[in-house]
């Protein structure tokens, strides 16, 4: 965040160009020598967009989630016959990033539903739990949770605090 170097005359004041961070030793092993292969690789495609490769060790929910989200990008204008607008790609990305941050390995894949306004809704209805997460924009995310067994409910913003969502996903991931 602070600005990069510029050429400036120095007196007692030290400009950015005049100090050198200490790099005398390497303290941590490079990632390359670690033995675990990451289960998911992501690279930018030269044609634009991205390529996500998913290995055998990746969570089972990844493929259906990515497939479902990618399909939404194909929906044309007026896709719902009520004037529905095209789904915004930045919302697809936000939804996938949110899943990466909150899902467990064995969590069930969500139903992935487009909204007429170009947003996305992720839904789970199982194990007595109803959970819906709606993306109106990448940073306007709202979730609704209801536990039919114990009556717990919440309806809240989910852009900054993912704790309730992580907990809810954990609850619906396991049979009770």
Partner 1 sequence: MTDVSRPLPDFADPPVIEVALSVQFEAIKGLRTPQLGLLWSEFREPFRRVEEHPPLDAVVERFGVKHVAIRPSIQLRMLEALPAPRCWFLNEAGSELIQVQADRFIHNWRKTAADQQYPRYHRLRQSFEQELGRLRGFLQREGLGDLVANQCEVTYVNHILAGKGWREFGELGQVLTVCDARYSDKFLGAPEDVRTALRYIIRNGQGEPTGRLHIVVEPAFRLSDGQPMLVMSLTARNRPEGEGVGGVLKALDIGREWVVRGFASITTPAMHGIWGRKDANRDS
Partner 2 sequence: MAGPSFEDDATIPDEADLWRRIHPSWVIPDQNIGSLRVSSAAFDDSPDGSPLSMLLADIVRETGRSESDVLVGFQDYSLAALKAADARTNGQKVSPTPTKGEPAHVSVAGPKTKSTKRGMARASRWVVQPNHV
| Count of residues of this chain found to bind partner 1 when the rule CB under 8 A is applied | 58
Among 49, 55, 60, 83, binds partner 2 (CB under 8 A): 83
Torsion of CA 160, 164, 165, 169, to 10 degrees: 160
Q: Least CB distance from residue 175 to partner 1, whole Å?
A: 21
Q: Least CB distance from residue 77 to partner 2, whole Å?
A: 10
**Looking at residue 31, what DSSP letter applies?**
G
Phi, psi of 11 (to 5 degrees): -120, -115
Q: Least CB distance from residue 91 to partner 1, whole Å?
A: 10
Per-residue b/e over 76-112, b at no fewer than 16 CB within 10 Å? eeebeeeebbebbeebbebbbebbeebbeeebbbbeb
Q: Residues 7 to 46: which contact partner 1 by CB under 8 A?
A: 8, 10-15, 17-22, 24-25, 38-45
Q: Which residues pair with 39 in a beta bridge?
A: none
Among 80, 106, 152, 157, binds partner 2 (CB under 8 A): 80
Residue 51 in contact with residue 45, Cβ under 8 Å? Answer: yes
Q: Which of 82, 169, 90 is nearest to 122 (CA)?
A: 169
Please report, as ranges, the residues that interact with partner 1 according to CB under 8 A. 1-4, 6, 8, 10-15, 17-22, 24-25, 38-45, 48-50, 52, 59, 89-90, 92-93, 96-97, 100-105, 137-140, 159-167
Please report, as ranges, the residues that interact with partner 2 according to CB under 8 A. 71-72, 75, 79-85, 111, 113-118, 121, 123, 125-130, 132, 134, 142, 144, 148, 155
């Amino acid at each position: 965040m602070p600005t990069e170097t510029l050429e400036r005359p120095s007196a007692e004041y030290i400009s950015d160009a005049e100090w050198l961070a200490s790099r005398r030793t390497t303290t941590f092993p490079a990632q390359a020598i670690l033995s675990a292969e990451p289960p998911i690789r992501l690279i930018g495609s030269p044609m634009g967009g991205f390529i996500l490769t998913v290995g055998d060790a990746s969570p089972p929910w990844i493929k259906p989630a990515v497939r479902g989200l990618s399909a939404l990008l194909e929906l044309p204008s007026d896709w719902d016959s009520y004037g529905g607008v095209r789904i915004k790609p930045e919302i697809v990305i936000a939804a996938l990033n949110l899943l990466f941050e909150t899902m467990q390995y064995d969590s069930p894949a969500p139903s992935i539903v487009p909204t007429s306004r170009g947003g996305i809704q992720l839904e789970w209805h199982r194990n007595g739990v109803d959970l819906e997460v709606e993306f109106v924009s990448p940073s306007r995310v709202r979730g609704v949770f209801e536990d039919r067994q114990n009556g717990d409910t919440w309806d809240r913003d989910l852009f900054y605090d993912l704790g309730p969502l992580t907990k809810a996903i954990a609850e619906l991931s396991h049979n009770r």
